Amino acid sequence: MLALLLAGVPSAALLGACAAPPVEFRVGFSMNEERRAPLPVAFTAQAPAGYRVEWDFGDGGSGQGTSAAHTYYRAGTYTVRARLLDERGQPRATASGPVTVLSGGPEHAELVVLLGRGEVRLSAAGSVAYRPGTPAFTLDGRPVGAGPVPVAAGAYRATVRLPGESGVLERSVAFRVAPLPGSVPFETEVLRLTNQARARGWNCTTLREGGPALPPLARDPQLEVAALAQSAGMALNGYFDHRSALDGSTPAQRVQATGLRVRASAENIAAGQETPEEVVRGWLRSPGHCRNIMGDFTRLGVAYVNRPDSPYGRYWTQVFATPAQ
């Protein structure tokens, strides 16, 4: 996520014969670093108690409050303006700045299938549609919500439809559901060993402890959903890759599909290892995986799936993230 900060400029409003004292007014906004439409942007303002904030997003949209969210559906550069109003409704400060939105390319629908144990979640994360609209999902032809949707073992076909400038955008994904044996103690131990490495200052270059200690990662239920979807997808579809062979989703799309807004995220995967000690030891001795474990993250999701009739048998996933403010 990209975060920007603007300083407010006091307005020239007068109270009686004396100029109003200046007030501190700071405005920030954060967005995906790629800046591609449709681009959701989160706006925040620091305002004194009793004051209110009005937003002009520069594309005809507006909002109110110290926190506001807006989606830009077209490429272009927009001037965002925020006004700080006192309890009388008089403007006391203003802040403005540009938001540049790049083209997301041709319109198309994406469908992320987050497999779980006896349930599935569906999301249109990653879709490119240049008009506002709500995705509509079906499972084997019957309308369903985003989930979680209860499912029994078997084969399914999910479809998403959403409005675009060029018409209705649609995509379908076929998938199957089967039992996904796991181990809560194994997952808990992966978290413990990961935090132990951070606390002892594991150095990813020298492969030794003794560096700066890092705070522990907190287990996050939404990241657990993304991690389980990846382990389940690999176990049920016989692949080993960060990009899902089930629906084509990336790690970032799967995190987005859970509904969690993050500043940054990353994923570690492994297959075949029999114990938490073996898998964490392997990650710590692999430069890219180690940098994730020792990265500037605050949350973690862990998922372990054991499927003996699959190519690797055991599948492990860690999903790291720092939530957006």
Within 13 Å and on the Cβ side, how many CA atoms surround 157?
5
Q: Where are the domains of the chain?
A: 12-101, 112-177, 186-323
Pairing of strands 167-177, 154-164: antiparallel
User: What is residue 101's predicted lDDT score, i.e. its pLDDT?
Assistant: 96
Q: Would you identify the CATH topology of the domain 186-323?
A: Pathogenesis-related Protein p14a (3.40.33)
Counting every residue written for the chain, the total comes to 325
- In degrees and rounded to multiples of 5, residue 73 shows phi and psi of -95, -10
Question: Which SS3 state, helix, strand or coil, does residue 181 take?
Answer: coil
Question: In whole numbers, what is the pLDDT of the chain averaged over residues?
Answer: 91
Residue 205 has pLDDT above 50, yes or no: yes
pLDDT computed for residue 22 by the predictor: 65
Question: What is the model's pLDDT at position 325?
Answer: 67
pLDDT tens digits, residue range 233-292? 999 999 999 999 999 999 999 999 999 989 899 999 999 999 999 999 999 999 999 999
Does the pLDDT of residue 4 top 80, yes or no?
Answer: no
Q: How many CA atoms lie within 13 A of 305 on its CB side?
A: 31
Residue that has been written with the tokens 């062979």 in this structure: 245
Residue with tokens 């114990």: 275
In this structure, whether the domain defined by 112-177 belongs to CATH 2.60.40 is answered with: yes
pLDDT for res 147: 84
The string of pLDDT tens digits covering residues 77-104 is: 999 999 999 999 999 999 989 999 999 9
Judged against a pLDDT cut of 80, whether residue 17 lies above it is answered with no
Mean pLDDT for the stretch of residues 190-210: 96
pLDDT at 167 over 80: yes
Q: Which residue has the higher pLDDT, 147 or 302?
A: 302
305 three-state secondary structure: strand
> How confident is the model at residue 21, as a pLDDT?
56
Distance of CA 220 to the CA centre of its chain: 12
pLDDT of 47 reads 84
Q: Which of the four pLDDT bands, split at 50, 70 and 90, describes residue 324?
A: confident
Task: For residue 124, give every residue at least 6 positions away whose Cβ sits within 8 Å of its Cβ, in sequence order, or none.
Answer: 109, 110, 111, 112, 135, 160, 162
> Percent of the chain at pLDDT above 90?
81
In angstroms, rounded to a whole number, what is the distance separating the alpha carbons of residues 303 and 234? 12
Q: In what order do the strands lie in the sheet with 314-323?
A: 218-219, 299-306, 314-323, 262-271
Domain 12-101, CATH homologous superfamily name and number: Immunoglobulins (2.60.40.10)
Tokens of 230: 């990846």
Let me know if the fold of 12-101 is the same as that of 186-323. Answer: no
Q: How many C-beta neighbours within 10 Å does residue 216 have?
A: 15
What is the identity of the amino acid at 241? Answer: D
Give me the pLDDT at residue 33, please. 82
Mean pLDDT of 107-115: 97
Q: Taking 50 as the threshold, does the pLDDT of residue 322 lie above it?
A: yes
Residue 171 backbone phi and psi in degrees, to 5: -150, 145
Round to whole Å and give the CA distance between 85 and 68: 16
**Which residues lie across from 177 on neighbouring strands?**
154
Nearest 5°: phi and psi at 156? -140, 160
Share of the chain above pLDDT 70, in %: 93
Q: Is the pLDDT of residue 6 over 50?
A: no
